[in-house]
Amino acid sequence: MVELKRLGGVATCVLAAWTAAAAPVVFTDDDAQSAFDAAGAFVKACTPRHSGTLRGRLAANWLLDRASWCGADATLDSFRDKTPFGERQFCNVMIELPGTRTNGHWIVVMSHFDTPATAKQPCPGANDGASTSGLLIALADAINRTGPHPDSIALVWTDGEECCKAYAPDDGFHGSRHLVDYFRERGRSVKTAICLDMLGDKDLHIIVPANTTTVLKKLAQQAAEKAGLKDLLKVDESLVVTDDHSAFLSAGCPAINFIDFDYGPGNAWWHTPADTMDKVSKASLLSSGRLVAAFLNILLYGK
């Protein structure tokens, strides 16, 4: 995620909420601890983890192993894509949890795990990448233990979100663009794509940007209120953030971005060696996890 711009309006899209018998996703204090511990271990074991490199592949395999602990099968989806420096190999990590409905709808929850090759010095990516990778691990456990749920859910750790030179059609967001193709080729309908980014910041302020499907903005506000986190979330209709959800929006799929793009004084810690685990907190991951769980429950059960 790097491209931000201000605008006055945004196109709308309508998504109908489904209803079913309640079997809610619950994100607990233990889940938050698991997310924080996983993020810290990931930073320690896998820094740096630039996409298209051996270190990036090692990071994907680390996530593959750790994600499998939730009791569901995790898979490694390797693919090749063009970059300014030639074709490179990327690796998404995925857990697929089939739903009980036969309508074929999928909810995709994703977080990138790579670090920026453009940074002047090695960047641990504790908040930008690791925090939501750990959060996704904990969410996979929470979703799996309370399921099966009505709709199928895919949890995806995307590779290649960061660019290797400068954002362009062949540079950056490789994993999410490939993920759109993955679902299209299998004839799967994406009900909602949810992008999580930089949600471990101790000083947490979650933004839903303007380039989010309109009805999902309203559902996000409902989820924040239900989770008792109304003051933590803001829908910013003047801000556009190009992130992993953008590929789904471009493909016509409802999509939302939960992000805190205010990291340190004047965003000074972003993409720097200062992006370390001491800037991340379990409390923030608990709030973020509770928000996402509440949002999922609205999508899954209409409440």
- Could you report the per-residue pLDDT of 143-196, keeping only the tens digit for each? 999 989 999 999 999 999 998 888 888 988 999 999 999 999 999 999 999 999
DSSP 8-class letter at 201:
B
Q: Write down the architecture of domain 4-301 according to CATH.
A: 3-Layer(aba) Sandwich (3.40)
Residue 37 has which token pair?
């511990």
* Weakly modelled stretches of the chain, pLDDT under 70: 1-22
Q: What is the pLDDT of residue 166?
A: 81
Q: What is the pTM for the complete model shown?
A: 0.92
Other beta carbons less than 10 A from residue 65's beta carbon? 11
**pLDDT value for 12:** 30
Number of neighbours of residue 106 by Cβ within 10 angstroms:
21
Q: Amino acid identity, residue 100?
A: T
DSSP H helices in the chain? 29-45, 54-67, 132-146, 174-185, 214-226, 246-250, 282-301
pLDDT at 19: 38
Which positions ≥6 away from 206 have C-beta within 8 Å? 199, 232, 233, 234, 258, 259, 260, 288, 291
- Torsion 122-262-28-221 (CA) sign: negative
pLDDT score of 227: 97
pLDDT of res. 174 = 95
Domain definitions of the chain by residue range: 4-301
In this predicted structure, what is the pLDDT of residue 295? 98
H or E element, residue 57: helix 54-67
